[in-house]
């Protein structure tokens, strides 16, 4: 089966084409989409592409960070000022996957994929979307919860405040190294005020169909210190709100069992 490929110079034109047709899919790096095309998936009738350079733009400052949806994992790894995100980008596939895999595609990747989206959730990112209606912005949590419903929208980029130095942590638990799909991943932003956690953000990958916030654990961490006694209440409620599924990588039961262990290690800075 062949599909129609429509390429547009400008984001707006691509967004219009995407929302106009039910079987249209936007092409990021194609690491997921091309498999569907190769398998003649009837959900993909048209591929919409944009060559607009704005899509791959990285605007990195000491305050706010803006990442174009078309930026690849390799581009993130090449940007020294995004070093805190390198441990995330580096875990996504092998080198050839990272050359193609985009941030936009990761936001739509189904569990157990979506490690970068998990990091963006812990960073409280805002997702910029272009649709038939024009431009709009949506908090990432809302975006992830609704991404599989409704019409096709073109994500143009994400933005977030640079996390305080050393406050961002990430761990991915996989069975194969160096390249392995997640049993689970955890991203956390742990800001400290006078040595105590203030406004923690914790996100899990592969613990639901899309990345989810660990709100019970976040609440339990508020005002606590990052030592064994301080993190214990958060670890005790680690799996609250998570709804992992069984897949070829791990059972839901196993994911729940090991989640508290890895959350504890992450919070204590003890590594995976």
Ligand X SMILES: Cc1cc2nc3c(=O)[nH]c(=O)nc-3n(C[C@H](O)[C@H](O)[C@H](O)COP(=O)(O)OP(=O)(O)OC[C@H]3O[C@@H](n4cnc5c(N)ncnc54)[C@H](O)[C@@H]3O)c2cc1C
Residues 6+ positions from 18 with CB-CB distance below 8 Å: 24, 25, 26, 48, 131, 152, 153, 154
By the rule CB under 6 A, 33 interacts with ligand X: yes
The sign of the CA dihedral 133, 137, 139, 144 is positive
Quote the tokens at residue 33: 């989409």
Shortest Å, Cβ 256 to other proteins: 27
Asked if residue 87 binds ligand X (CB under 6 A), the reply is no
Which of residues 95 and 269 has its CB atom nearest to other proteins in the complex? 95
Q: Smallest distance, Å, CB 158 to ligand X?
A: 10
| Residue whose tokens read 């709804």 | 243
User: Which residues of the shown chain bind other proteins in the complex (CB under 8 A)?
Assistant: 1-5, 7, 27, 30-31, 34-35, 37-39, 44, 47, 49, 74, 93-97, 99-100, 178-179
| Contact in structure between 89 and 77 (CB atoms under 8 Å) | yes
Residue ranges in 163-192 that form contacts with ligand X under rule CB under 6 A: 181
Residue 68 binds to ligand X (criterion: CB under 6 A) = no
SS3 annotation, 21-36: CCCEEECCCCCCHHHH
* Pick 44 or 221: Cβ nearer other proteins: 44
Q: How far is the CB of 49 from other proteins (least distance, A)?
A: 8
Cα-based torsion angle of the residue sequence 140, 146, 152, 157 in order, rounded to the nearest 10 degrees = 0
Of 101-109, 134-142, 220-228, 232-240: span binding ligand X (CB under 6 A): 101-109
Partner from ligand X, other proteins, none contacting 155, C-beta within 5 to 8 A by type: ligand X
Which positions ≥6 away from 48 have C-beta within 8 Å?
6, 8, 14, 17, 18, 24, 25, 26, 27, 154
Nearer to ligand X, 102 or 138 (CB): 102
Q: Which of 154, 158, 184, 188 binds ligand X (CB under 6 A)?
A: 154
Q: How big is the CA angle at 182 (ends 180 and 186), to the nearest 5 degrees? A: 130
Binding mask 220-259 for ligand X (x = CB under 6 A): ----------------------------------------
- Cβ proximity of 107 and 187 under 8 Å: no
Residues making contact with ligand X (CB under 6 A): 25-33, 69, 91-93, 97, 100-102, 104-106, 108-109, 113-116, 154-155, 181
């Amino acid at each position: 089966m062949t599909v129609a490929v429509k390429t547009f110079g400008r984001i707006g034109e691509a967004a219009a084409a995407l929302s106009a047709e039910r079987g249209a899919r936007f092409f990021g790096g194609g690491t997921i989409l091309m498999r569907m095309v190769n398998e003649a998936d009837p959900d993909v009738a048209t591929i919409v592409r944009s060559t607009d350079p704005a899509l791959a733009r990285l605007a990195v400052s000491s305050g706010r960070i803006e990442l174009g949806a078309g930026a690849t994992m390799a581009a993130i790894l090449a940007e020294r000022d995004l070093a805190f995100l390198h441990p995330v980008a580096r875990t996504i596939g092998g080198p050839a996957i990272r050359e193609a895999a985009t941030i936009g595609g990761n936001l739509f990747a189904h569990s157990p994929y979506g490690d970068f989206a998990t990091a963006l959730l812990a960073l409280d990112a805002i997702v910029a979307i272009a649709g038939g209606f024009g431009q709009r912005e949506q908090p990432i949590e809302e975006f992830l919860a609704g991404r599989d419903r409704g019409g096709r929208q073109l994500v143009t980029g994400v933005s977030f405040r640079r996390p305080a130095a050393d406050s961002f942590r990430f761990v991915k638990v996989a069975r194969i190294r160096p390249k392995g799909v997640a049993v689970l991943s955890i991203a956390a932003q742990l800001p400290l005020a006078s040595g105590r956690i203030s406004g923690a953000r914790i996100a899990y990958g592969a613990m639901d169909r899309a990345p989810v916030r660990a709100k019970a654990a976040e609440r339990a961490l508020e005002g606590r210190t990052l030592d064994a006694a301080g993190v214990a209440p958060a670890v005790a409620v680690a799996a609250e709100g998570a709804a992992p599924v069984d897949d070829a990588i791990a059972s839901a039961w196993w994911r729940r069992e090991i989640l508290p262990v890895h959350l504890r290690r992450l919070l204590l800075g003890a590594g995976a």
